[in-house]
Chain A
Amino acid sequence: GENVEQHPSTLSVQEGDSAVIKCTYSDSASNYFPWYKQELGKRPQLIIDIRSNVGEKKDQRIAVTLNKTAKHFSLHITETQPEDSAVYFCAAKGRTGTASKLTFGTGTRLQVTL
């Protein structure tokens, strides 16, 4: 089955700096890669996703890049703000079945300090 590794487990940046979180996956058939943000005590929420036919996607201050050859994808947050502090999860989905069988990474706790 799919295996997703995520690094780092914790990340502290100063407000205004950029943050990068990296994930690798094992199943070359995986074709969908979402990122979820989970604030303390709240539900995970999708913030951005990318499909295997695209190498990069951007939405305001967040961007995701995908390298299919190397089987890794990354989340980039620019001009970080205190409200970006949360746990971020990457995930990967292979082409199996009709429902979204996502495999998640272990999460990165991002702390944005003033």
Chain B
Amino acid sequence: ETGVTQTPRHLVMGMTNKKSLKCEQHLGHNAMYWYKQSAKKPLELMFVYNFKEQTENNSVPSRFSPECPNSSHLFLHLHTLQPEDSALYLCASSQTGSNEKLFFGSGTQLSVL
């Protein structure tokens, strides 16, 4: 499936590193999302972008910085992360309006050492 692609698939970083996660959707959707998936926890919504405008920031620490240059691309910039930030980070997209179905990417498995 190539609807929503995320890179990299795996990332190991130290607490002082700066890295970025990338997401691209080829579905013509106008909304994009970042979710965090940790073991034994529900999927946590982090950020929502609707028509490139951020409409939701669920009290996410500033060490996570999203960027949405256009409706097809979404980035998550990471800086000074903590070991507890280790998780699977999932990007998703949807078309707002009557069709609310979320399409997820394969995720980036992040390990913070």
Q: Which residues of A contact B (CB under 8 A)?
A: 4, 6, 32, 34, 36, 42-46, 49, 89, 91, 93, 97-107
Contacts and interface: CB of A to CB of B under 8 A. Distances in A.
Interface SS majority for chain A: strand
A102 B42 contact: no
Contact of A101 (B40, B49, B56): B56
A4 B42 contact: yes
B43 interface: yes
Interface of B: 4, 31, 33, 40-43, 45, 48-50, 55-56, 90, 94, 96-97, 100-107
Nearest to A9: B40
A102 B102 contact: yes
A34 B106 contact: no
A16 B4 CA distance: 34
Contact of A42 (B41, B48, B94, B106): B106
A103 B105 CA distance: 18
Contact of A44 (B90, B94, B100): B90
13 contacts: A34-B101, A36-B102, A43-B107, A46-B102, A89-B42, A91-B43, A99-B31, A99-B49, A99-B55, A100-B33, A100-B96, A104-B42, A106-B40
Contacts of A99: 31, 33, 48-50, 55-56, 94, 96
A43 B50 contact: no
A45 B104 contact: yes
B104 to A, nearest CB: 4
A76 B44 CA distance: 25
A93 B100 contact: yes
Contact of A43 (B40, B45, B90, B97): B90
B100 A32 contact: yes
Contacts of A103: 42, 45
Greatest chain B CB density within 10 A among A4, A46, A101 is at: A101
A105 B101 contact: no
Contact of B56 (A6, A32, A44, A97): A97
